[in-house]
Structure 1
Amino acid sequence: MTRGAHVDVDDEEMLDTLTIGRRIRQLRRSRGMTVDDLGAAIGRAASQVSVIENGKRELKVAELQRIARVLGASFDALLEPAGLSRRDELEIALERVQRGPIFASLQLPPVAVRKSLSDEAIETILRLHDELERLHRQRASTPEEARIANTELRGQQRKRNNSYEELERAAAELLAAINHRGGPLSQRATSQLADHLGFTLHYVNDLPITTRSITDHRNGRIYLAVRQPGTDPRSALLQALAAHVLRQPAPKDYGDLLRQRVETNYLAGALMIPEASAVEFLKAAKDARELSVEDLRDHFAVTYETAAHRFTTLATAHLGIPVHFLKVNSSGVLSKAYENDAVQFPVDALGSVEGQTVCRWWSARQVFEVEDRLSPYHQYTDKPAGTYWCTSSIQSSANGEFSVSLGTSFAHAKWFRGRDTKRRLTSTCPDPACCREPDPDRSAYWGDHVMPSARLTTSLLAAMPDGSTDGVDKVDVYEFLERHAPR
């Protein structure tokens, strides 16, 4: 809603000069006093009183107390924004707009706030400013903003060891409702869960390309794409059910979107790999010093990535093992990461890891060099922060191949199968000489004789659809629902 439609005085702005000035003017007029009267009473010229009432001068506490006594009001009454007239609210909003960076960038003369300036004129100016502000925010909503939000979110996850007790409880309650007694969650049990929550399932061939599923609360339906080869049919459904259970509103910004995505994925993972049976399974494996992502994957019939990610949510809280997790594409670019074992990921100037290139000597990239892609890949790597053991596996998707890696510090490698590997490499990244700068002799030989053509990632230049934070094309979604809703 625009300022022209509704103007709020924020609690944090109660002490600003504009609000106090308008409050003083309102109290003065209600007492039948002129500007001259108030000036004489506080020992100020009338012009100085006008400056105060127009919010152009900051007052000390003693001055405010003296004005309050003259006006027969309490000190708190001057600071209270409630009760201001509609006109006062509009004038305050207009003054704030004109003091802001957007108005200043336009290099326009300020609009004098006079009685002759109508409320409608002020509302028009405020609406125009709101639209300019919206356009600026939209243009600023770049992947940079998403990376900043993701960095903050990853810090929050690290503080809680990536363990969300409230989501574990929610998953346990849902599984108990369908009488699931542990172990893998079957496709049938997943459908029972949807039925328990009041939904029927509909598999379609024309699901909008910007969606993984669509939940129609009006008709109690969940629409899913007809199963694609190589995908887990439970995943999209459980994420849709998780979003419903968590009652997530439309995200306001990237931070909201990422937080909701993390919580939804966590709850879906906790349903596919239930905490109680998973912890029992992992503790037994730790006692035998046979911890393995592959075993967790096979025991609960999930993908390798789901097993590795779920391991990070349970390892520290229940096994006392700090870990790190990476998802890296075949060109070495990191797309997803988590750590609480002090491993140092590559970062940009803002502390973000997404989009950064992983050292070529790390397990996450070395696994692409191995011909045997069926056997687990294990490696020790001496890094600036210490020696780490890591296990990696190559997975395939519609966007190409990527590696999923799970690692821990040398001291905790003793609990894992594969700890006896002889592979050991050294990484000195972020030192450019480690793997980012070519050999000097090669540079001298090739440097002036090669001109490679870069592949520009289209998403680098792509913007979100207008009015969208999550990238979903709502026009497409609503048209889809109208085609499929029961008549």
Structure 2
Amino acid sequence: MDEASDLITLGRRIRHHRKLHGLTLDQLGAKVGVVGSQLSLIENGRREPKLSLLQAIGAQLGVPVPDLLSAEAPDARTALEIELAKAQQSPLYASLGLPAVPPSRSLPLETLESLVGLHRELRRRASESIATPEEARRANTENRLAMRTRSNHLPDLERLAEETLATVGHTSGALTHRSVSLLAEKLGFTLIYVDDLPHSARSVTDLANGRIYLPPASIPGGHGLRSMALQAMAHRLLGHTPPSSYAEFLQQRLEINYFAAACLMPETASAAFLQAAKQRKDLSVEDFRDAFGVTHEAAALRLTNLSTVHLDMQVHFLRVGEDGAIYKAYENDGLPLPVDVTGAVEGQLVCRKWAARGALGRTNRTTEFYQYTDTPAGTFWCATQTGKTDAGEFSISFGVPFADAKWFRGRDTQMRQRSYCPDESCCRKPATELAERWSDSAWPSAKLHAHILSPLPSGKFPGVDENEVFQFLEAHSAS
């Protein structure tokens, strides 16, 4: 019973069989040892019954527990009620800020059918509006959800990284450029730094001549030379072949990024460092970053790989642009991330009350910004650092539920905000007096982001200009 929608179906099935037996809530409650109001919560999908109570209910109604747990509605009317209840729990409907209509038996059938029809059309139109990047968004969402079920931790890649590092004698501390070069040599490659790398590629591997071409200096955004070289090598170590779909392309990107991070911050050494910091109640992204000589973003992301498995805590990570849109996100701690109708988070705006946006408005950004945020899903603590690229400013946030803040530096912050999102009255709707004053007098000219109209990147390696790459290799093969 992980999904609230499953509880709705269970509750409706219990109510259906209770009605067949002509029992009221109080009558059935008395037979199974609970009050009628508690049984009502179960029937409305608002409370999950214990197995013992479910067995008692099944015994009184003469229905086996597996039948009560069936995913099928008991009749057509109930199926509509369940569909309406699920639709009203969706993020799409929550974003409208409208009250829910109780799908009770007193609701006329015609009204119920109309409401369900409206929700179906609402979902259809929302789906159509994001049809252009749909393949990439769905694949990326599937990857994110799959990684959440694994606590964002891939043991096979962790082992491969440590075995690979052992071949050059690296065990702890920051991985040097020299060690990375030795790793490349072990694989039969030479690292070559050039200033004419194709603009659409972060690196280019020449398999025929055993060369990995890299830019002469770290490019903006935290993709250091060591990381890019390790990612290029990972394709070979993992036996990747040219991706046959965009989903496979994204999966390969996930794997090479993970491998590179596991080399720069090896699991054994990282876990020992973090566990010692937790014992001191002094966990810090900044210290983890500095200990292994990586970027703040890389350290925060790596913490998501290790925290659940090695620190026994649920966490979240956000990279948010200056416009408030999510670039990357991960959570297994219940943080209510904004999502679109497909479940994708990329491009969604986070609440203005969250530290991910509040930190961008600070004057002093040399240190991390700490904040507690009260949300409809509970209170969360996070540490946020800001950065800047040619594309604009961004923030990196790493956080945990309130109960685990005690392990982190910055837990004593007095900064606290309350967020009501996805209720649009929280931070998206303008104040009533401002709307009344300006709604008929304002005509802003919106910026058009070119990528919104762009087709999904295609080609053997999506987004890469093959003609430019082949010309580059031809030019350098003679040298």
TM-score, normalization: structure 2? 0.71
- Within a 5 Å distance, the mapping from 1:38-187 to structure 2 comes to 142-187=132-177
**SS class of match (1:277):** helix
Question: Identity rate of aligned residues, in percent?
Answer: 49
* Pair 1:292–1:466, CA change in 2 (3 A): closer
Cα offsets for 1:134-155 (capped at 9, x unmatched): xxxxxx9832211111111111
**Deviation at residue 375 of structure 1 after TM alignment:** 1.6
Task: Please give the alpha-carbon distance, in whole angstroms, between the structure 2 residues aligned to 1:449 and 1:155.
Answer: 44
**Deviation at residue 305 of structure 1 after TM alignment:** 0.3
**Deviation at residue 398 of structure 1 after TM alignment:** 2.6
Cα offsets for 1:424-478 (capped at 9, x unmatched): 0000000000001000100000111111111111111112455355211111111
Contact 2:197 2:203 in 1 (8 A): yes
Structure 1 position 319 matched with structure 2 position 289: no
Contact 1:253 1:469 in 2 (8 A): no
**SS class of match (2:439):** helix
Task: Please give the alpha-carbon distance, in whole angstroms, between the structure 1 residues aligned to 2:415 and 2:458.
Answer: 50
Instruction: In structure 2, give the amino acid aligned to 1:245.
Output: L
Task: Please give the alpha-carbon distance, in whole angstroms, between the structure 1 residues aligned to 2:311 and 2:457.
Answer: 44
**Deviation at residue 207 of structure 1 after TM alignment:** 0.8
Contact 2:243 2:460 in 1 (8 A): no
Task: Please give the alpha-carbon distance, in whole angstroms, between the structure 2 residues aligned to 1:325 and 1:148.
Answer: 20
Instruction: In structure 1, give the amino acid aligned to 2:394.
Output: F
**SS class of match (1:449):** coil
**Highest RCO, 1 vs 2 (Cα 8 Å, sep ≥ 6):** 2
Structure 1 position 196 matched with structure 2 position 176: no
**SS class of match (2:422):** coil
1:478 counterpart (470, 473, 479): 470
Task: Please give the alpha-carbon distance, in whole angstroms, between the structure 1 residues aligned to 2:275 and 2:345.
Answer: 31
The match for 2:355 is 363
Task: Please give the alpha-carbon distance, in whole angstroms, between the structure 1 residues aligned to 2:388 and 2:361.
Answer: 16
Instruction: In structure 2, give the amino acid aligned to 1:187.
Output: H
Task: Please give the alpha-carbon distance, in whole angstroms, between the structure 1 residues aligned to 2:424 and 2:131.
Answer: 31
Contact 2:242 2:460 in 1 (8 A): no
Instruction: In structure 2, give the amino acid aligned to 1:342.
Output: G
The structure whose Rg is larger is 1
Task: Please give the alpha-carbon distance, in whole angstroms, between the structure 2 residues aligned to 1:371 and 1:359.
Answer: 20
Cα offsets for 1:97-128 (capped at 9, x unmatched): xxxxxxxxxxxxxxxxxxxxxxxxxxxxxxxx
Task: Please give the alpha-carbon distance, in whole angstroms, between the structure 1 residues aligned to 2:296 and 2:282.
Answer: 17
Contact 2:214 2:225 in 1 (8 A): no
1:213 counterpart (197, 203, 212): 203
Instruction: In structure 1, give the amino acid aligned to 2:143.
Output: L
**SS class of match (1:297):** helix
Instruction: In structure 2, give the amino acid aligned to 1:419.
Output: R
2:250 counterpart (258, 262, 280): 258
Task: Please give the alpha-carbon distance, in whole angstroms, between the structure 2 residues aligned to 1:308 and 1:254.
Answer: 26
Aligned length: 348
Gaps of 5+ in 2: 1-129
Structure 1 position 270 matched with structure 2 position 262: yes
**SS class of match (1:296):** helix
TM-score, normalization: structure 1? 0.70
Instruction: In structure 1, give the amino acid aligned to 2:404.
Output: H
Contact 1:183 1:274 in 2 (8 A): no
**SS class of match (2:440):** helix
Task: Please give the alpha-carbon distance, in whole angstroms, between the structure 2 residues aligned to 1:214 and 1:357.
Answer: 34
Structure 1 position 443 matched with structure 2 position 435: yes
2:383 counterpart (391, 400, 418): 391
Does 225-234 or 322-331 show the bigger shift? 225-234
